[in-house]
Amino acid sequence: MAVYTEVPFAEAAALIEHLNLGTLTELRGIQGGIENTNYFVTSERDGASVEHVLTIFERLGFEQLPFYLHLMKHLATHGVPVPEPAADARGEILHTVQGKPAAVVDKLRGRSELAPGAAHCAAVGALLARLHLVGRDFDRHQPNLRGLPWWNETVPVVLPFVSAAQAALLQSELAYQNHIAAGSAYKALPRGPIHADLFRDNVMFDGDELTGFFDFYFAGVDTWLFDIAVCLNDWCVHHGGDADGQPAAALHRAFLNAYESVRPLSAAERSLLPAMLRAGALRFWLSRLWDLHLPREAALLQPHDPTHFERVLRARLPQGVAPSPRAETEAA
């Protein structure tokens, strides 16, 4: 959610008026995230102040975006709390700002919980299961654009920027994930639309109430198990300190128990969960390496530390395989 595209106040005001959202009173760039340009927009309508989020899409094109926006619309109309895209008088939810595709969506109440407890993890697990079930009858299809084909393309690009040990781990894990994906058990996993990026900063809580999931612009059709793994690797691991990247067992149990209270996992999903946890860690280590070493210009940009997900991946490997650099140093 960096600012790559500077939006004139007058252009934003015209869009807000076109969407019948009132008169724009404030336009504020959002710092954080790295994919799109985002602004908080505040408008006056019928004597009340209303807040929305304006997103200008920097990588996704007009042909890809209907999947994401209509998925959000589908989920919202079926009772899953997500930001609903604003439509104009013709029902269009994809707009244009500064010649780029754009959307305006509801701003959720509350704040992100960056230090979640078991209750937060349980709430997210249960709602994720609902999202998966509601998405079964969504009638559009688009693959996970940051899935295995992207990993295969991107690993060779980042290898010149990493150490020999990191390169060996990236290549060996990529080979393992290709092997898993070729198996019949993986191909039989249940799948459908997934969020694919449901980190702690993409969920809102108002006190103890989970008010919604947002930022669906990595969503795609993939295995539900991969979506679960992405969550477990962010919500249910330690962040910072000597235990950074290590699993937090109590949070892991709370998340999975709540998810399964809504949609029980199949035997194949239970069997392949360790592999998908590794897949989720690889995906975000790789994308953070890409963003750090091959950045785009932005007015507000804070690339995330790739080494956190390197630690998550090493923690997910079978014991005795590819020890972390920290462990190697301590052993010496």
Domain of 205 in residue numbering reads as 118-331
pLDDT digits (tens, 9 = 90+) for 7-51: 999 999 999 999 999 999 999 998 765 678 999 999 999 999 999
Q: How far apart are the first and last CA of the chain?
A: 42
3-state class (DSSP) for residue 318: coil
Mean pLDDT of 76-105: 97
Determine if the pTM surpasses 0.85: yes
pLDDT at 2 over 60: yes
Residue 304 sits in a domain of what CATH number? 3.90.1200.10
3-state class (DSSP) for residue 204: strand
Identify whether 316 is part of a domain: yes
Identify whether 111 is part of a domain: no
Report the DSSP pairing between strands 191-194 and 203-206.
unpaired
Identify whether 4 is part of a domain: no
Identify whether 180 is part of a domain: yes
pLDDT at 319 over 80: no
The pLDDT, as a whole number, for residue 300 is 43
- pLDDT-derived band at 88, boundaries 50, 70, 90: very high
Are 312 and 208 within one domain? yes
Count of the separate structural domains present in the chain: 2
Are 293 and 313 within one domain? yes
The pLDDT, as a whole number, for residue 3 is 77
Last residue of a domain, one of 59, 85, 106: 106
The pLDDT, as a whole number, for residue 297 is 60
pLDDT digits (tens, 9 = 90+) for 214-251: 999 999 999 999 999 999 999 999 999 999 999 999 99
Are 98 and 138 within one domain? no
Are 159 and 55 within one domain? no
Mean pLDDT of the chain: 92
Are 46 and 154 within one domain? no
Are 34 and 157 within one domain? no
Are 311 and 167 within one domain? yes
Identify whether 1 is part of a domain: no
Q: Which residues pair with 237 in a beta bridge?
A: 247
Are 86 and 163 within one domain? no
The pLDDT, as a whole number, for residue 295 is 80
Residue 231, phi then psi, degrees to nearest 5: -65, -50
Would you tell me how many other CB atoms lie within 10 Å of the CB of residue 31? 14
The pLDDT, as a whole number, for residue 302 is 62
Identify whether 113 is part of a domain: no
Last residue of a domain, one of 74, 106, 138: 106
Are 148 and 293 within one domain? yes
Nearest to 322 by CA among 176, 192, 161, 140: 176
Of the listed ranges 112-121, 210-219, 294-303, the least confidently predicted one is 294-303
The pLDDT, as a whole number, for residue 166 is 98
Last residue of a domain, one of 73, 106, 139: 106
Mean pLDDT of 151-160: 98
- Distance between CA 212 and CA 198 in Å, rounded? 11
Identify whether 21 is part of a domain: yes
- Distance between CA 332 and CA 323 in Å, rounded? 13
The pLDDT, as a whole number, for residue 329 is 33
- pLDDT-derived band at 96, boundaries 50, 70, 90: very high
Mean pLDDT of 82-94: 96
Identify whether 22 is part of a domain: yes
More confident position, 330 or 167: 167
300: left (phi over 0), alpha (psi -120 to 50) or beta: beta
Are 324 and 188 within one domain? yes
105 and 86 in contact (C-beta within 8 Å)?
Answer: yes
Are 82 and 122 within one domain? no
pLDDT at 1 over 80: no
Cα→Cα distances 60→135, 148, 194, 218, 227, Å:
21, 18, 17, 10, 21
Residue 29 sits in a domain of what CATH number? 3.30.200.20
- Distance between CA 330 and CA 332 in Å, rounded? 5
Are 282 and 140 within one domain? yes
